[in-house]
Amino acid sequence: MRRVFGPGPRDGNRHDEVGLMPMNQPRDGERRHLQPFTMVIFGASGDLTERKLMPALYHLSALGHLPVDFAVIGVARRDWTDDYLREKMRQAIEQAAGPDGIDEKVWADFARRLYYLRGDATDESTFARLEEAIARISAGFPGEIGKNRLYYLATLPSLYPKLIQGLGRLERARSNKGWGRIIVEKPFGSDLESAIELNRLLARYFDESQVFRIDHYLGKETVQNILVFRFANGIFEPIWNRNYIDNVQITVSETVGVGHRGAYYEEAGALRDMVQNHLLQLLALVAMEPPHSFNADAVRNEKVKVLASIPVPDVTTVAHTTVRGQYTAGVVDGKPVPGYLEEPNVSPDSKTETYVALRLGIDNWRWAGVPFYIQTGKRLASRSSRITIYFKRAPHLLFQPFSVPDLQPNSLILDIQPEQGVTLSIGAKVPGPQVRIRNVDMEFVYERSFTERSPEAYEYLLLEAIAGDTTMFTRDDEIEAAWRLVTAIRRAWDEAGVPLHPYPAGSTGPEAKHALLSEGQAWCGG
């Protein structure tokens, strides 16, 4: 029997396929020695390719991070040409570049590497024609760019099975074997059963070391910095446990509504769209044990152990440890906005949640008894992604008579977006003859401390995939452990009839969320 949820020791020293270059490999300065490659993007006419993938590849090329020889082939059903693809991608890159504009010399070199292939994932001939296109394009480059391949699935998830099967057969059949890797965008399944089935399909054609399940949150600078912050600083790790930490809060709030994604959101909801991937990934990084090395399997082993240590709630538990809500009409940034039920492609009697808050526990030695509160929602008062660590109060506060009434416990805030930084809140004496104490903040902000440009999340993650480093990508058992929890909550909501709380757009979410907290605790930000 295949074990689905156990953390499972893996060989952390095992190399992937040919061309693997982990993060701790020797480098020439800040640049890796990458092999020539061809990247194939399925869904080349889509929004993700225009807004994220092509600008990321352009910037990597402009900064000299890509090898001398590479090409990008976009595949979609539209009747485009090479020149039209280049024109569309130039517009997208110019828009992403903003006032700095585009470097014509860089663009000229980048554009000659872009090609288009009209193809349908459901048509088996597409993959044969793709092999022919790679061979033809590769002949125009000095390096063997067709030998190493990176396939990116930027399509509707319903097309994943056909693409995986077609590419898997293509990889097995080709003779010029170098490395072959596949990047799969979220959502990775819609529940536990579908995620397991998708993992099985991938495993039929690809080794796990070839599969890169991408979560763009893991490419954000502050998210990566969580591991450095925890394990490179001796002052925090000794107190990073149940003896000193009162509670942990992870919040991802958005001011926008569902917009044109109404049809997708009706299927997904906030729980599947945000909790299963982004928020549980952040929780795992905050709570994991120190890995034995910064090796992909070593890091991911520890993340899986955390997710497997979260008790799967039953129906009764879900009823009092979860809150779900749906936004109604309100005001955001001074402008009136419609409620969820008035959004395009949304059913007028929809019960889909646009907000979710959970109280979770981790049953292990480090975190026993420490609540982890996570919340995410749309049309909230502010746009913010942050992790807040609240420490326990001093056991005997000598200065209690002099404290201001709202003196808060010490806290550590890791801001992910829109600003990136770290804030440590401590109690300090107010200047003057009287003893008065209030909270003050010690801040670190990326933009003030570093002159180096912070890469966009997709820039970082694409470079890691090209290098063959899976550290910041999600493994099969990790995906299934997260879905195990989320699927149980989703089913319990249906069985227990957990209410859907309305909340006005522009608020901090449903008032019911405060009932999740223990006495003396408060949500960071309200």
Contact 249, 373 (CB under 8 A): yes
Q: What is the pLDDT of residue 31?
A: 58
Same domain, 389 and 497: yes
Same domain, 277 and 161: no
Q: What is the pLDDT of residue 401?
A: 65
Q: How many other C-beta atoms are found inside a 10 Å radius of the C-beta of residue 315? A: 15
- Domain extent, residue 443, equals 219-514
Q: What is the pLDDT of residue 217?
A: 86
Q: Could you tell me if residue 198 is inside a domain?
A: no
Q: Return the axis-axis angle of helices 104-111 and 54-62, rounded to nearest 10°.
A: 120
Q: Which of 178, 200, 231 is the last residue of a domain?
A: 178
> How many angstroms separate the CA atoms of 367 and 411, rounded?
17
Contact 16, 179 (CB under 8 A): yes
Q: Could you tell me if residue 476 is inside a domain?
A: yes
Q: Return the axis-axis angle of helices 457-467 and 54-62, rounded to nearest 10°.
A: 70
> Do the bridges between strand 355-360 and strand 322-328 make them parallel or antiparallel, or are there none, so unpaired?
antiparallel
Same domain, 127 and 42: yes
CA nearest to 89, candidates 107, 101, 63: 107
**Both tokens assigned to 479:** 């995906």
Q: What is the pLDDT of residue 25?
A: 42
Q: Could you tell me if residue 23 is inside a domain?
A: no
Same domain, 296 and 174: no
Q: Could you tell me if residue 212 is inside a domain?
A: no
Q: Could you tell me if residue 450 is inside a domain?
A: yes
Same domain, 157 and 231: no
Same domain, 362 and 242: yes
Contact 306, 499 (CB under 8 A): no
Q: What CATH number is given to the structural domain containing 277?
A: 3.30.360.10
Contact 512, 503 (CB under 8 A): no
> How many angstroms separate the CA atoms of 89 and 466, rounded?
21
Is 278 catalytic? The answer is yes
* Core vs surface per residue 117-154: b (16+ CB within 10 A) or e: bbbebeeeebbeebeebbeebbeebebebbbbbbbbbb
Q: What is the pLDDT of residue 184?
A: 96
Q: Which of 178, 210, 239 is the last residue of a domain?
A: 178
Same domain, 265 and 384: yes
Q: Could you tell me if residue 45 is inside a domain?
A: yes
Same domain, 261 and 392: yes
Same domain, 236 and 380: yes
Q: How many domains does the chain have?
A: 2
> How many angstroms separate the CA atoms of 411 and 390, rounded?
5
CA nearest to 272, candidates 200, 152, 187: 187
Q: What CATH number is given to the structural domain containing 79?
A: 3.40.50.720
Q: What type of residue is 373?
A: Y
- Catalytic, out of 59, 65, 216, 278: 278
260: exposed, middle or buried (Cβ count in 10 Å: 0-12, 13-18, 19+) = exposed
Q: How many other C-beta atoms are found inside a 10 Å radius of the C-beta of residue 100? A: 8
Per the listing, tokens 């480090």 go with 366
Same domain, 334 and 472: yes
Beta bridge partners of 31: 28
Same domain, 116 and 264: no
Q: Could you tell me if residue 321 is inside a domain?
A: yes
316: exposed, middle or buried (Cβ count in 10 Å: 0-12, 13-18, 19+) = exposed
DSSP letters for 477-500? HHHHHHHHHHHHHHHHHHHHT--E
- pLDDT per residue, tens digit, the chain (526 aa), is 333 333 333 433 333 333 333 344 434 445 578 999 999 999 999 999 999 999 999 999 999 999 999 999 999 999 999 999 999 999 999 998 878 789 999 999 999 999 999 999 999 999 999 999 999 999 999 888 999 999 999 999 999 999 999 999 999 998 778 999 999 998 899 999 999 999 999 999 999 999 999 998 888 888 888 888 889 888 999 999 999 999 999 999 999 999 888 888 998 899 999 999 999 999 999 999 999 988 899 999 999 999 999 999 999 999 999 999 999 999 999 999 999 999 999 999 999 999 999 999 999 999 999 999 999 999 999 999 999 999 998 776 666 666 566 678 899 999 988 888 899 988 777 788 877 777 888 888 877 777 666 778 899 999 999 999 999 999 999 999 999 999 999 999 998 889 999 999 999 999 999 999 998 899 997 7
Which phi and psi angles does 40 have, rounded to 5°? -115, 120
Contact 194, 161 (CB under 8 A): no
Same domain, 224 and 285: yes
| Beta strand residue intervals within 433-517, DSSP E | 437-445, 500-504
> How many angstroms separate the CA atoms of 437 and 425, rounded?
13
Q: Could you tell me if residue 292 is inside a domain?
A: yes
Q: Which 3 state secondary structure label does DSSP give 42? A: strand
Which phi and psi angles does 486 have, rounded to 5°? -65, -40
